[in-house]
Structure 1
Amino acid sequence: MKRSNTLERIQRLDILKARIKSGDAMTVALIADEFKVSARTISRDIQILRDQGLPIDADRGRGGGIRLQQNWSVGRIKLNYTEAVDLMISLAIAEQMQSPIFMASLKSIRHKLMASFSADMKHKVTGLKERIRIGQGVSSMVLATLESNNVQLVEQLHQAFLMQTACEIQYQDQAGTLTKRIIQPHYLLLNFPVWYVLVWDELRQDVRTLRCDRIKQLNVLDDEFKLFPLSRFEACLEGVDAI
């Protein structure tokens, strides 16, 4: 058997992963013969794929059947850009909550998801957790005024938040008055179950705290902004016990 180099191994792993996902019947011996490597090499390849999160069952013995675990299906999910962004923000929220119930696999899930992003996107995602704050639950008075969020609007806000781009919005204040604003969404704050966005208001040239459910229209602009330090929003967080 010939000794495989790094490039050959990468190519072999990609092919092996695709073959396993396809559900084709295969054995360690047959795969080893196909790639002209030893059975031990294929076994090591299988372990690498397992370490990458692919749940593979491999029978011991001469036949060495290879297949995915019968209850596995998550790896076949294909996420679009919006879904991936929402999932990354959700993971960041769970990490900020610091609950042992949620922490078991979050790190490995985040690393696997980040592997699909470009270098620039990885840079933005890396600091995402620090831009989300979790506070206390809201009062019954605030809860009584909570409105349901528009799903499409939330997706657009998440996109602008992650990519650090300005938004033009229509915002309804406590009195019900609608105003047009151009904002930079710097931080998100959850006072369960109410979401707030800490923004720089271009028209008012000041920081503001806006309730997400009161944003009625949103248009993502092309203008990128540089992230302000959280200390710039101290006045917005006054009285809030945030993590």
Structure 2
Amino acid sequence: MSRADRLMDLVDLLRGREGTSVDALAAELGVTARTIHRDLALLRDRGMPITGEPGPGGGVRLEGGRGVAAVHLSAEEVASLWLSARLSRLASDLPWSDGARSGMAKLLGSLPPAKARALRTMCRRVVVGPPASPRVREGAGAPPPELLRLFERAFTGGIGLGFAYIDREGRATNRRVEPHGLLVEPPVWYVVARDVDKGEPRTFRMDRIARPRLLNEIQFRPDPALVDAQLPDRERWRPLTAT
């Protein structure tokens, strides 16, 4: 489990009870009490209102009344903010990129447990890699505006997507797919999908897609393993939830 995932699980545990102990949290998360103390310190630094005794086995609790907790954002809205914050880290000369990261940590910590779990599941299907090569960037265009809107609905709702596609050799085909994941190689975006007609996983560059449409007759359950298997370089690409 990555530290980011553990922190979200820790917040879920704290939100679900009036108070608990460091030892109990350590046992539930399968780590040492020392690790829990470090995680609690990090969450406090990021603005989480955690109180209690700091000593070994001390009681801790997550206080109510958090400001941003009253902002009712959907999992999709938070995911879009999280992705923007993550992409800002790839531009070292971008002002406030560190602020975007710390601000998102506070926002994520304020989510109710059910919404936090839904967001975590969805974000594991979004993978961010290094910037595209100069050759790829030179030939890249903008995805059709309607594709972005339809992709969001298909991706989050488990609905099929149909479109015309031009591959790297210039061949035109019509595709029906299940959009299981999204790969980001700034500024190029790829749909990781299962081709319904071929029965095989495929990756499609968004700027090569035309005439997208929802296929409501195709329903699917997202498969993160399919996304992971399509990563071009496992060492350089990381899910959105990774630290």
Q: TM-score, normalised by structure 2?
A: 0.57
Whether 1:109 and 2:107 are equivalent positions in the alignment is: yes
Contact 2:79 2:123 (C-alpha < 8 Å) held by counterparts: no
> Any idea what the Cα deviations from partners look like across 1:222-243, whole Å, max 9, x if unmatched?
2321222335652x32336201
Q: For residues 150 and 165 of structure 1, what CA distance do their matches in structure 2 show?
A: 19
Contact 2:188 2:205 (C-alpha < 8 Å) held by counterparts: yes
Among the aligned pairs, what percent are the same residue? 22
Whether 1:213 and 2:211 are equivalent positions in the alignment is: no
Contact 2:177 2:194 (C-alpha < 8 Å) held by counterparts: yes
Whether 1:230 and 2:225 are equivalent positions in the alignment is: yes
Contact 1:182 1:203 (C-alpha < 8 Å) held by counterparts: yes
Gaps of 5+ in 2: 1-62, 91-96, 239-243
Q: Flag the 1:199–1:104 CA change in 2: closer, same or farther, 3 A.
A: same
Counterpart for residue 31 of structure 1: none
Q: For residues 98 and 206 of structure 2, what CA distance do their matches in structure 1 show?
A: 28
Q: Secondary structure at the match of 1:89?
A: helix
Q: Secondary structure at the match of 2:135?
A: helix
Match of 1:239 among 215, 233, 242: 233
Gaps of 5+ in 1: 1-46, 56-74
Q: Flag the 1:91–1:239 CA change in 2: closer, same or farther, 3 A.
A: closer
Q: Secondary structure at the match of 1:149?
A: coil
Q: Flag the 1:138–1:221 CA change in 2: closer, same or farther, 3 A.
A: same
Q: For residues 193 and 121 of structure 2, what CA distance do their matches in structure 1 show?
A: 17
Q: Flag the 1:48–1:135 CA change in 2: closer, same or farther, 3 A.
A: closer
Contact 1:199 1:207 (C-alpha < 8 Å) held by counterparts: yes
Q: TM-score, normalised by structure 1?
A: 0.57
Whichever of the two has the greater Rg, that structure is 1
Counterpart for residue 68 of structure 2: 53
Whether 1:135 and 2:129 are equivalent positions in the alignment is: yes
Q: Flag the 1:179–1:133 CA change in 2: closer, same or farther, 3 A.
A: same
Q: For residues 122 and 233 of structure 1, what CA distance do their matches in structure 2 show?
A: 22
Contact 1:184 1:200 (C-alpha < 8 Å) held by counterparts: yes
Shift of 1:151: 2.2
Shift of 1:130: 0.8
Q: Flag the 1:163–1:111 CA change in 2: closer, same or farther, 3 A.
A: farther
Residue 169 of structure 2 aligns with an amino acid whose one-letter code is A
1:178-197 equivalences in 2 (<5 Å): 178-197=172-191
Count of residue pairs brought into register by the alignment? 167
Contact 2:125 2:224 (C-alpha < 8 Å) held by counterparts: no
Whether 1:89 and 2:87 are equivalent positions in the alignment is: no
1:17-96 equivalences in 2 (<5 Å): 51-53=66-68, 85=76, 87-92=78-83, 94-95=85-86
Counterpart for residue 141 of structure 2: 147
Shift of 1:192: 1.2
